[in-house]
Amino acid sequence: MVNSKDFSDRLKKIMKYYDLSASSLADKIQVQRSSISHILSERNKPSLEFVLKILNHFPEVSFYWLLKGEGEFPLTKKVGTDEKEATPTLFSSETPVKTSIPEEKQPIVAPPVTSKQKSDIERIVIFYGDGTFKEYTP
């Protein structure tokens, strides 16, 4: 279980490191400003989607450091430092993990309709996961 206070403190470190306000962080990772406010005030715990957005936008943040405080932050040093650069990864495996979510799922396309079947079809409606739909009439 993620400790809200500790997570809030680590989020504040990220904001300070990148010189971001709460509203500029929200804009950067594309979440509502109230989400940042609620996490910083320890009212809410972060969602998995929120954590993944942080990890996608800030390569210097490691998964375990963000959630549990284990490891180091930042993983890479700012330009001009002499220290060795670490390779950012979400997990300890060598294979990078893709965390992006596809913007829209593609519909499944049915096989072509023969001319004999065409007269029986009045309309075709395709429903998408985001609540939208497209309607086709032959």
The one-digit pLDDT tens for each residue of the chain (138 residues) are 788 899 999 999 999 999 999 999 999 999 999 999 999 999 999 999 999 999 999 988 988 899 888 888 888 665 544 444 444 444 444 445 555 545 555 556 666 666 555 557 778 888 888 888 888 877
Residue 49 sits in a domain whose CATH number is: 1.10.260.40
Domain with 10, as residue range(s), is 1-101
Count of domains forming the chain: 1
Predicted local confidence at residue 124, as pLDDT: 84
In a domain, 96, yes or no: yes
How is residue 102 annotated by DSSP?
-
Note the pLDDT of residue 2: 81
User: What pLDDT, on a 0 to 100 scale, did the predictor assign at position 116?
Assistant: 57
What is the predicted pLDDT for the residue at 109?
Answer: 63
- Beta-carbon contacts of 28 under 8 Å, excluding residues fewer than 6 positions away, are 20, 57
Structure tokens at 32: 């509502």
| Residue 37 pLDDT | 93
Q: Whole-structure pTM over 0.75, yes or no?
A: no
* CB burial readout 4-32, b (16+ within 10 A) else e: beebbebbeebbeeeebebeebbeebebe
What's the gap between Cα 109 and its chain centre? 29
Residue 38 is assigned to a structural domain of this protein:
yes
Flag whether 118 is in a domain: no
Query: Is 47 domain-assigned?
Result: yes
User: Is residue 32 in a domain?
Assistant: yes
